[in-house]
Amino acid sequence: MKNQRGPDFLIVGCERSGTHWVTALLNSHPGVACFPAIAFRKESGEYSNDFGEIHLFNTLASLESDNKDKFVRPISNYLTTHHKYFADLVPYEEKVPKEELYEKFIQRYNELCNSKRGMKKLVGEKTASYIFHLDFIDSFYPMIKKLCIIRNPKDQIVSWHFNDIRKGRKTEMTISDEFILDYCRKRIIKEYESLLTYKGKVHCFTYESLTNNTKEVISGILKYLEVQVGEELIEYMTDNASFQKLTAIDSGITSRTRGEESIKSHYRKGIVGDWQNYLTIKQTKLVDQILLNLRIKVFDKHNLSKDNII
The string of pLDDT tens digits covering residues 130-139 is 999 999 999 9
Q: Categorize the per-residue pLDDT at 46 as very low, low, confident or very high, splitting at 50, 70 and 90.
A: very low
CB neighbourhood size of 73 (10 A): 16
Q: Work out the mean pLDDT of the chain and round it to a whole number.
A: 94
Q: What is the mean pLDDT of residues 190-196?
A: 98
CA 194 to chain centre: 14
At residue 2, does pLDDT exceed 60?
no
Q: What is the mean pLDDT of residues 187-208?
A: 98
Angstrom distances, CA of residue 202 to CA of 43, 122, 159, 232: 35, 17, 24, 27
Residue 185 — φ and ψ, nearest 5°?
Answer: -75, -40
Give the dihedral of Cα atoms 171, 177, 181, 182; nearest 10 deg.
-20
Q: Categorize the per-residue pLDDT at 14 as very low, low, confident or very high, splitting at 50, 70 and 90.
A: very high
34-48, 99-113, 115-129, 145-159: least confident range = 34-48
Q: Categorize the per-residue pLDDT at 48 as very low, low, confident or very high, splitting at 50, 70 and 90.
A: very low
Q: What is the CA radius of gyration of the chain?
A: 19
At residue 37, does pLDDT exceed 90?
no
pLDDT on residue 67: 83
Residue with more model confidence, 126 or 5 = 126
Query: Do the beta carbons of residue 190 and residue 69 sit within 8 Å?
Result: yes
Q: Categorize the per-residue pLDDT at 160 as very low, low, confident or very high, splitting at 50, 70 and 90.
A: very high
Separation of alpha carbons 56 and 63, rounded Å: 12
Separation of alpha carbons 45 and 17, rounded Å: 27
At residue 68, does pLDDT exceed 90?
no
Q: Where are the domains of the chain?
A: 1-151+202-241, 152-198+273-305
Using DSSP's 3-state secondary structure scheme, residue 138 falls into: helix
pLDDT on residue 308: 80
Q: What is the mean pLDDT of residues 182-200?
A: 98
At residue 59, does pLDDT exceed 80?
yes
Separation of alpha carbons 62 and 58, rounded Å: 7
CB neighbourhood size of 221 (10 A): 24
At residue 47, does pLDDT exceed 50?
no
pLDDT digits (tens, 9 = 90+) for 212-258: 999 999 999 999 999 999 999 999 999 999 999 999 988 888 999 99
**pTM here?**
0.95
pLDDT on residue 5: 87
